[in-house]
Structure 1
Amino acid sequence: MPRQDGQLRDRTIVISGASRGIGLAIAVAAAGQGANIVLLAKTAEPHPRLPGTVHTAAADVEAAGGRAVAVVGDVRREDDIARVVETAVERFGGIDVCVNNASAIATQPTEELGAKRFDLMQDINIRGTFLLTAACLPHLRRSPNPHVLTIAPPVNLNPRWLGAHPAYTLSKYGMTLLSQGWAAEYADAGIGFTCLWPETFIATSAVAALGDAETQLAAARSPRIMADAAVAIISQPARQVTGTCFIDADAVTRFAGIDDLARYGGGPSPTPDLFLD
């Protein structure tokens, strides 16, 4: 996304699950617009199979031109949520944007999905989104252009998706319904509640783990498309976008004027993402 000096300058963004992948890409892109970034993630030490920690993510944000603070914590824990919000307010004076990015995925059939994995998805995806947003709300109310952006899909009741992996679908649609519910609940507060979902697979560790990683990643777009879309959305007047669930390709075209998506990779026929017909 072309740099727009001052677009997010001095705005403070809290992002969950920000040590790698889409969360990190959003953090770096927003930093390039001058934002302050508060990153919440559990990864304090390098993972044997996954790149990056919350601390390396903070270094990447600062290298991109923003100011960063890393908070090691779990989005499911109220104490950790309180700590990340307190850190944002103490370090930067407030919160302008909350990005609910942290998410867990398990797509096994119902009879193969254990209760532990079921609970993990509901706890991270729904509970985590609820806790972080609720804690940020008192500070968002004081922002001149407050946004809550949730990485969640449009609710699609096509039986194809309802029957594919009901437990995961429940958790992601739950995130979307929270966002849309908040858009109605806080319609008079001027806070923009939006969702963002990729049109195609995104080249992350989760996609690489699907098997045949080389083929999967070659047909996936860069996380940068989600980052450019996110920055474009949170740069809009909150009241004009609230209640909307955006697809990344549509958002970058509509708000950033990017028509040629080849820059994001994925080849001539990127793999369509889940929940989109």
Structure 2
Amino acid sequence: GMSMCVLGMATEFQKYNIAVNALWPRTVIHTAAVEMLSGIDKAKSYSRKPDIMADAAYSIITKPFDHYNGQFLIDDEVLEQEGIIDFNQYLSDPANNGNLMMDFFLEEYPHDGFNQGKEVAKRQAQQKI
């Protein structure tokens, strides 16, 4: 459902310089819904703070519309492109680093959206030279 909407709207709105993308978390995000399903302590131990999604979304929407369009992006991959490599600040429980639950809907690395974003950035930088 959502994937087809992203692709369709990205194409449809491109002529208006409007980008449409999907942003997925790599890991479970600590939210009230996760707490309700698994309990407060357990949810906190294996998740990241919602801040990681906010920072990734901010990074995406502050780029020119053609930097990302019709992409399926992962939060930490977007932030890696911004130079952020230490994700400990996003841990809900810093004592559980390395024990995060991966999102159910994602496959393991590599993810294509990250590489496509890097290629777009590289082409844009070369055009400015």
Amino acid in structure 2 at the alignment position of 1:191? I
Report whether the alignment pairs 1:244 with 2:71.
yes
Report whether the alignment pairs 1:270 with 2:100.
yes
Task: Say which structure, 1 or 2, has more relative contact order (CA 8 Å, 6+ apart).
Answer: 2
More helix by share: 2
SS of the residue aligned with 1:221?
Answer: coil
Matched with 2:34 is 207
Give the deviation of 1:212 after TM superposition: 3.5
Give the deviation of 1:190 after TM superposition: 1.2
Between the aligned partners of 2:56 and 2:84, the Cα distance in structure 1 is 10
Give the deviation of 1:215 after TM superposition: 1.4
SS of the residue aligned with 1:236?
Answer: coil
Between the aligned partners of 2:75 and 2:103, the Cα distance in structure 1 is 11
Deviations 1:182-205 (A, max 9, x none): 111222221111110100000100
Between the aligned partners of 1:192 and 1:248, the Cα distance in structure 2 is 17
Matched with 1:189 is 16
More strand by share: 1
Amino acid in structure 1 at the alignment position of 2:98? P
Amino acid in structure 2 at the alignment position of 1:215? K
SS of the residue aligned with 1:196?
Answer: strand
Count matched residues: 103
Matched with 1:216 is 43
Between the aligned partners of 1:221 and 1:273, the Cα distance in structure 2 is 11
Give the deviation of 1:207 after TM superposition: 0.8
What is the RMSD of the two structures over their aligned residues, measured on CA atoms? 1.3
Amino acid in structure 1 at the alignment position of 2:102? P
Between the aligned partners of 2:91 and 2:32, the Cα distance in structure 1 is 16
Deviations 1:107-149 (A, max 9, x none): xxxxxxxxxxxxxxxxxxxxxxxxxxxxxxxxxxxxxxxxxxx
SS of the residue aligned with 2:22?
Answer: strand
Q: Which runs of 4+ in 1 moved over 3 A?
A: none
Instruction: Give the TM-score taking structure 1 as reference length.
Output: 0.36
Q: Given the alignment, which residue of 45, 59, 79 partners 1:232?
A: 59
Instruction: Give the TM-score taking structure 2 as reference length.
Output: 0.74
Amino acid in structure 2 at the alignment position of 1:249? D
Between the aligned partners of 2:38 and 2:18, the Cα distance in structure 1 is 40
Where does the alignment leave 5 or more consecutive residues of structure 1 unmatched?
1-173
Give the deviation of 1:223 after TM superposition: 0.4
Deviations 1:57-108 (A, max 9, x none): xxxxxxxxxxxxxxxxxxxxxxxxxxxxxxxxxxxxxxxxxxxxxxxxxxxx
